[in-house]
Amino acid sequence: MTLMNNLTSRILVAIVGIPALVFVILNGGVLFFGLILIISSIGLWEFYSMAEKKGAFPNKYLGILTAIVMHSLYYFWSISYTGQRYSEFISIGILTIFVATLLLTELFRAKPNALLNIALTVGGVLYVAVFFQCLLQIHTMLSLVSTVPMQGGYFVMCIFITIWLCDTAAYFVGRAIGKNKLFERISPNKTWEGAIAGALVAVGGFIGVAAWLLPTLSITHAAILGGIVGTIGQAGDLAESLLKRDAGVKDSSNILAGHGGVLDRFDSILMVSPVIYWYIYIVNLFGFSLFR
C-alpha cells in the first residue's frame, strides 16, 4: 500500500510539476525569478537541516535572507543590459556583507562549534544560492542580449532536457550492462558503463534538442555544453549523494511527495549552472558567439 501511495504521489507531482516548470522556464521574467527564489530558499533550508543532523548550528535565517536579497537585487538591477554588466559585483558585495554579518552575529548566538557553524552557513549559500543564481543569470543574460523571443528560456530548457536524457541513459544502461562501480562508497548502484552512456547521450541530446529549440546555436558549442551536462551533472548528483550519506538521510526532504526534496531534484542543474554560466561568459569575453 505504501509503495502504491508513493508511486501515485510521484505521478501526480510529475503531472502538475513538469508542465508548470516548462511554462515558468519558457516565460522567464518575474516568474522564473520567483521560481529561483523559492527553490533556492527551500534548498538552503534542506542543506542546513542536514548540517544540523551532524550536530552543527548553521545560521539558517541569515543564510536564507542573504539568498533572497542576492537574487532580488540581481534580478531587479539586471533587467537592463547595463545592470547585467555589473551583476558579479552585486553578488560579491552581498556575499561580503553576509560574511561580515555572520561573524558578528555568531558572537551573540552562544552556540557550540562556532567555526563549523560559520563554515556551513557560508558553504550553504555558495553551494545552493550562488549556484542557483548562475541559472538565473544564464536565463536573464541570454534573454537580454537576444532578438529571438524566449531564447533564455529555450536555452535553459535544453539544459533540463539534456540532464533528463543523461540520467535516463545512465540508469537504463547501468542496469542492463553495468558491472564496474563508479563510486561505490557514495552511490553503490552507479556504474562506469552507465556514466559513460549518460555522457555520450548528453552530448548527442544537447545537439538534438538545440536543433529543435535553438536552431541558431552552434553545433560545436552545443556539443561542448552537452559534454558539460554529461560530466558535471553526474558529478553534481554524486556530490549531493555524499552530503545525504554523511547526514544519514535518504532524501534532502520530503517536500516533493515521492520525489524527495529540492536538492534531490536539482542536484545536477546546481553543479552544471555555474560551469555553463562561466563558459558563456568566457566565450563572450573573447568576442565569440554561441549562435550562428
Does pLDDT of 243 surpass 60?
yes
Does pLDDT of 2 surpass 80?
no
Share of the chain above pLDDT 90, in %: 69
Cα torsion 291, 285, 143, 42 to 10°: value is: 120
* 246-258 average pLDDT score: 83
pLDDT of residue 76: 83
How many other CB atoms are found less than 10 A from the CB of residue 56?
18
pTM > 0.75:
yes
Phi, psi at 63, each rounded to 5°? -60, -45
